[in-house]
Amino acid sequence: MSYAPLVEGQRQTDGQHPQTETLHYGAIVVTDGSGNLLTQVGDADTQTPLRSTAKAFQLLPLLQSGNSEFAQRDLALMMSSHSGEPEHTERISRLLAEHQLEASMLQCGTHAPIDVHTHEVLIRSGKSPNVLHCNCSGKHTGMLITCLRNGWDLSSYLNIDHPLQQRIRTIIETLAKSTGPLPYAVDGCALPTFVVSLRQLAKLFATMCRPGMVNNTVDHTDVSPFLTTLREAAVAHPDMIAGSGRLDTELMAACGGRVFAKTGADG
């Protein structure tokens, strides 16, 4: 593992040489549409937990379950790290109700809305954040719906041995071209998150952006059409992927559908 200096912050007084105040290190990997490495800064084989960068791939089992006539806004929300704004929480509440699910079944935990204005409104109204404000509540809702459709246990969907998590493992290992089982950690929302190299992460995003360039067969099913469906949902509704003023939302909106973006924790 090695990182390279990416951003240098300087402070300068008139008539004096600038002084370095901060220096941020990281790594960058660029591939082509087939996932072949084009260039890198730092070590392309640096290992990191996927965390929220995996959310689109974690939603694939829902589309594989068939009869997936979901609105694009709902698909975007189910692979989001949303800001807990009303448009997010109200839509998740509706999705749960449509599938006879309860918010109490979500095991992602509770935190204050990422959106500052929404948080301030809650404080002024004397209300506390609830599970729907968690930035991962959309993902957990999608997982519950997937379990419901497949007849899988709803209470243990967090477990690494649950059929849903095993299917997600197979999807990620296959699309990342892993040569063996990937290690995993526990994400901030209590779900398993698999550990990959930056090179493998770039391959995953290459499959999302150019799914027809490589063989994306997972368990005898070509998931390329599903990847296209998810990418199109994200770029059509970037406000649902993150929220007001957030990087993913602003980047996809500014690029007019040419960029798919999904951050993950510090990455």
pLDDT in tens, 74-128: 999 999 999 999 999 999 999 999 999 999 999 999 999 999 999 999 999 999 9
The string of pLDDT tens digits covering residues 226-252 is 999 999 999 999 999 999 999 999 999
For 157-195, what is each residue's pLDDT tens digit?
Answer: 999 999 999 999 999 999 999 999 999 999 999 999 999
Contact indicator for 151, 174 with CB cutoff of 8 Å: no
pTM of the model: 0.94
CA distance 85 to 83: 6
Answer yes or no: is pLDDT of 266 > 90: no
Average pLDDT of the chain, as a whole number: 95
Closest Cα to residue 178, out of 201, 193, 200, 210?
200
pLDDT of residue 267: 67
Across 137-141, average pLDDT: 98
Q: How many whole angstroms separate alpha carbon 249 and alpha carbon 83?
A: 11
- The pLDDT tens digits of the residues spanning 195-221 come to 999 999 999 999 999 998 888 999 999
pLDDT at residue 2, rounded to an integer: 87
Burial class of residue 121 (count of CB atoms within 10 Å of its CB; 0-12, 13-18, 19+):
middle
Please state, in angstroms and rounded to a whole number, the distance separating the CA atoms of residues 207 and 226. Answer: 11
